[in-house]
Amino acid sequence: MTALVVFLCLILFAIIIVQIGKVTELAAKIRGEEEVQDMANRRQASYSLIFMIVFLVACVVSGAYYKNYMLGYGPHESASEHGSSIDSLFSITLFFTGIVFFITQILLFYFAYKFRAQKGRKAAYISHNNTLELVWTGIPAIVMAYLVIGGLDVWNEVMPDVGPDDEFIEVEATGFQFAWQLRYPGPDGQLGTRDFRMIKEGVNPLGQDWSDVKNHDDFLPNELVLPVNQKVRVRITSRDVLHNFYLPHFRVKMDAVPGMPTYFIFTPTKTTEEYRQQLSKYPEYQVPSPADSEKQMWETFEYELACAELCGKGHYSMKKLVRIVSQEEYEQWLSTQSSYYLGNIKGTEYDPIQEATTSAPAPVVEEATPVTEEAAAPEH
């Protein structure tokens, strides 16, 4: 029924347009082409002014309406230590670009109105104007320099690597089409070496070199669980194309590049539960949750790891659950995790150590130096 009404409306709309066209043609014949053209110019010029007002008001209203869904403010205040620096950088940039946006849009539509074609008006010829050149080069140059230097300053604050005496948890995230594979170092605190030639789907998804004992306690969990207020260093790599390790609520975003390890260091400052409490104060999150109608939206909130690089048709599905918990809960969770080597490799045909003990000749050891994808992490 609705479809029929919409269809009829469209037909009627088309008929109106055709009729207006006919009337205009007729009027042109009666009054003369020039006058009709002048009227059309005036009409279209005022439409552009109306459009400008509606457009700018809609920008302001939608900004105000959606503010509680946006990162960087109120309910979505950053959940990491460095996050507020990035947020203030965004706010400063938005302030300046906002001013430029309003000035340029107003001028664009106002000029289209003011300088519409009019009888007897001739366009002015201006070859150049030094004052104007100085203003529109000088002001953007100063503002851009301020933004770029501010940006560099924040980059230097956010990106330094860990020092040799720093206490931190190191985890690894490997992007592939289409998921993230996480790896924790296990009780020894060290991630084992990898060799991409050893990657075998379903057996050795990361190409861990099993002759390296550091690999034997590494585990590959399904979710990213981290304790609150502890520094984390994430090694980020990719197995195929470009991906991007993105933790929006922590303002963490770093490309995952095949063959070029990257990293990000951050300290989560709010547990998942604390973030839910932060959301609970806003009406936007006091509505039934789509995930569970018995609960409110803030109660079902979860942090997420996403991919922020359009990496193929399954890009959208690279979501992983992130949980920030207390130190006790973290240790409890650690104790439930078990080594990938012990559960899947030890004693199987893929275990080089097994080969060494059962076969008489010396074990076949890779002659070539393995090409590892290990990040240049300081030894600790």
Binding site for Cu ion (CB under 5 A): 243, 307, 311, 318
- Identify the residue whose tokens are 């296990």: 186
Burial tier of 111 (Cβ tally within 10 Å: 0-12, 13-18, 19+): exposed
Residue 103 or 310: which CB sits closer to Cu ion?
310
Report residue 217: phi and psi, to 5°: -105, 0
Residue 322 or 325: which CB sits closer to Cu ion?
322
Query: Shortest distance, CB of residue 254 to Cu ion, whole angstroms?
Result: 13
Query: Shortest distance, CB of residue 319 to Cu ion, whole angstroms?
Result: 10
Nearest alpha carbon to residue 279 among 319, 307, 249 = 249
Three-point CA angle 168, 279, 287, nearest 5°:
140
Query: Shortest distance, CB of residue 223 to Cu ion, whole angstroms?
Result: 18
Residue 56 or 179: which CB sits closer to Cu ion?
179
Do the Cβ atoms of 181 and 240 come closer than 8 Å?
no
Query: Distance between CA 247 and CA 272 in Å, rounded?
Result: 13
Query: Distance between CA 193 and CA 190 in Å, rounded?
Result: 9
Three-point CA angle 311, 219, 250, nearest 5°:
50
Query: Shortest distance, CB of residue 258 to Cu ion, whole angstroms?
Result: 12
- Name the 3-class secondary structure at 379: coil
Residue 247 or 325: which CB sits closer to Cu ion?
247
Q: Which residues contact 189 (CB under 8 A, 6 or more apart)?
A: 170, 380
Query: Shortest distance, CB of residue 246 to Cu ion, whole angstroms?
Result: 9
Residue 84 or 177: which CB sits closer to Cu ion?
177
Query: Shortest distance, CB of residue 313 to Cu ion, whole angstroms?
Result: 11
Residue 173 or 297: which CB sits closer to Cu ion?
173
Query: Shortest distance, CB of residue 311 to Cu ion, whole angstroms?
Result: 3
115 upstream amide cis, omega within 30 of 0 = no
Helix, strand, coil share of the chain (percent; to 5): 50, 15, 35
Q: Which residues contact 197 (CB under 8 A, 6 or more apart)?
A: 207, 370, 371
Query: Shortest distance, CB of residue 252 to Cu ion, whole angstroms?
Result: 15
Residue 223 or 273: which CB sits closer to Cu ion?
223
Query: Distance between CA 304 and CA 324 in Å, rounded?
Result: 11
Residue 177 or 229: which CB sits closer to Cu ion?
177
Query: Shortest distance, CB of residue 243 to Cu ion, whole angstroms?
Result: 3
Residue 180 or 285: which CB sits closer to Cu ion?
180
The DSSP element (H or E) to which 45 belongs, if any, is helix 33-65
Query: Distance between CA 142 and CA 145 in Å, rounded?
Result: 5
